Protein backbone atom coordinates (compact mmCIF):
# COMPACT_ATOMS: atom_id res chain seq x y z
CA UNK A 1 0.00 0.00 0.00
CA UNK A 2 0.87 3.67 -0.14
CA UNK A 3 3.17 5.17 2.48
CA UNK A 4 2.35 8.20 4.57
CA UNK A 5 4.81 9.57 7.10
CA UNK A 6 4.34 11.94 10.01
CA UNK A 7 6.81 13.96 12.01
CA UNK A 8 7.34 14.19 14.91
CA UNK A 9 6.00 10.95 16.35
CA UNK A 10 5.86 12.38 19.84
CA UNK A 11 6.04 15.90 21.21
CA UNK A 12 5.81 17.36 24.69
CA UNK A 13 5.42 21.09 25.02
CA UNK A 14 4.52 23.75 27.52
CA UNK A 15 1.12 25.36 27.60
CA UNK A 16 0.94 28.38 25.31
CA UNK A 17 3.46 27.21 22.75
CA UNK A 18 2.72 26.25 19.15
CA UNK A 19 3.46 22.85 17.68
CA UNK A 20 3.79 21.95 14.01
CA UNK A 21 3.10 18.44 12.73
CA UNK A 22 4.09 17.37 9.22
CA UNK A 23 2.35 14.80 7.05
CA UNK A 24 3.99 13.52 3.88
CA UNK A 25 2.89 11.16 1.15
CA UNK A 26 6.08 9.36 0.20
CA UNK A 27 5.25 7.48 -2.98
CA UNK A 28 2.26 9.30 -4.44
CA UNK A 29 0.87 12.79 -4.87
CA UNK A 30 -2.09 13.82 -2.77
CA UNK A 31 -4.23 16.83 -3.62
CA UNK A 32 -6.24 16.08 -0.50
CA UNK A 33 -5.07 15.01 2.91
CA UNK A 34 -7.07 14.58 6.09
CA UNK A 35 -6.35 15.30 9.74
CA UNK A 36 -7.91 13.28 12.54
CA UNK A 37 -7.71 13.42 16.31
CA UNK A 38 -8.01 10.46 18.66
CA UNK A 39 -8.39 10.79 22.42
CA UNK A 40 -7.36 7.81 24.60
CA UNK A 41 -9.58 4.77 24.14
CA UNK A 42 -11.81 6.65 21.73
CA UNK A 43 -12.43 6.63 18.02
CA UNK A 44 -10.90 8.87 15.39
CA UNK A 45 -12.65 12.12 14.64
CA UNK A 46 -12.13 14.00 11.40
CA UNK A 47 -10.85 17.49 12.12
CA UNK A 48 -10.28 18.95 8.67
CA UNK A 49 -9.65 18.30 5.02
CA UNK A 50 -6.43 19.76 3.68
CA UNK A 51 -6.56 20.85 0.05
CA UNK A 52 -3.42 21.54 -1.94
CA UNK A 53 -3.31 25.16 -3.05
CA UNK A 54 -6.48 26.24 -1.27
CA UNK A 55 -7.95 26.67 2.17
CA UNK A 56 -8.62 23.74 4.41
CA UNK A 57 -12.16 22.66 5.20
CA UNK A 58 -12.85 22.27 8.90
CA UNK A 59 -15.41 20.05 10.55
CA UNK A 60 -18.02 21.57 12.79
CA UNK A 61 -16.64 22.47 16.20
CA UNK A 62 -12.99 22.57 15.12
CA UNK A 63 -11.42 26.01 15.55
CA UNK A 64 -9.63 26.97 12.35
CA UNK A 65 -7.58 29.65 14.10
CA UNK A 66 -6.32 27.15 16.63
CA UNK A 67 -5.54 24.35 14.19
CA UNK A 68 -3.80 25.93 11.22
CA UNK A 69 -3.45 23.74 8.16
CA UNK A 70 -1.17 24.39 5.23
CA UNK A 71 -0.98 22.15 2.16
CA UNK A 72 1.79 23.78 0.19
CA UNK A 73 2.69 20.91 -2.10
CA UNK A 74 1.25 17.68 -3.44
CA UNK A 75 3.18 15.65 -0.88
CA UNK A 76 3.13 17.77 2.27
CA UNK A 77 0.47 19.03 4.64
CA UNK A 78 1.18 20.62 8.01
CA UNK A 79 -1.00 21.03 11.07
CA UNK A 80 -0.01 23.71 13.58
CA UNK A 81 -1.61 23.64 16.99
CA UNK A 82 -1.38 27.26 18.12
CA UNK A 83 -1.20 28.28 21.77
CA UNK A 84 -1.57 24.70 22.86
CA UNK A 85 -3.33 23.87 26.13
CA UNK A 86 -3.53 20.61 28.09
CA UNK A 87 -6.94 19.82 26.58
CA UNK A 88 -5.26 19.71 23.15
CA UNK A 89 -3.24 16.71 24.26
CA UNK A 90 -4.21 13.93 21.92
CA UNK A 91 -3.09 11.57 19.15
CA UNK A 92 -3.12 13.37 15.81
CA UNK A 93 -3.20 11.26 12.66
CA UNK A 94 -3.11 12.30 9.05
CA UNK A 95 -4.19 10.35 6.00
CA UNK A 96 -3.88 10.66 2.26
CA UNK A 97 -5.76 8.96 -0.49
CA UNK A 98 -4.23 7.87 -3.78
CA UNK A 99 -6.71 6.49 -6.29
CA UNK A 100 -8.98 4.68 -5.85
CA UNK A 101 -10.25 6.19 -2.59
CA UNK A 102 -8.42 4.12 0.02
CA UNK A 103 -7.09 6.33 2.80
CA UNK A 104 -3.68 5.42 4.11
CA UNK A 105 -2.73 6.72 7.50
CA UNK A 106 0.47 8.10 8.91
CA UNK A 107 1.89 6.62 12.13
CA UNK A 108 0.42 9.45 14.21
CA UNK A 109 1.80 12.15 16.49
CA UNK A 110 1.23 11.97 20.21
CA UNK A 111 0.99 15.50 21.61
CA UNK A 112 1.28 16.14 25.33
CA UNK A 113 0.79 19.68 26.56
CA UNK A 114 2.01 20.34 30.09
Please classify residue 46 by burial: count the beta carbons closer than 10 Å to its beta carbon, then call 0-12 exposed, 13-18 middle and 19+ buried: middle
CA–CA distance, 77 with 70 (Å, rounded to integer): 6
**Is 8 a residue that touches other proteins (CB under 8 A)?**
no
Q: Does residue 26 have a cis peptide bond before it, meaning omega lies within 30 degrees of 0?
A: no
**Is 17 a residue that touches other proteins (CB under 8 A)?**
no
Nearer to other proteins, 52 or 66 (CB): 52
**Is 67 a residue that touches other proteins (CB under 8 A)?**
no
Window contacting other proteins (CB under 8 A); options: 11-19, 61-69, 78-86, 104-112: 104-112
Amino acid sequence: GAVVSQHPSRVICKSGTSVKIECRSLDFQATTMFWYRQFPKQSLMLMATSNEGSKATYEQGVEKDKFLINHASLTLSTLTVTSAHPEDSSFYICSASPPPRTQYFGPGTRLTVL
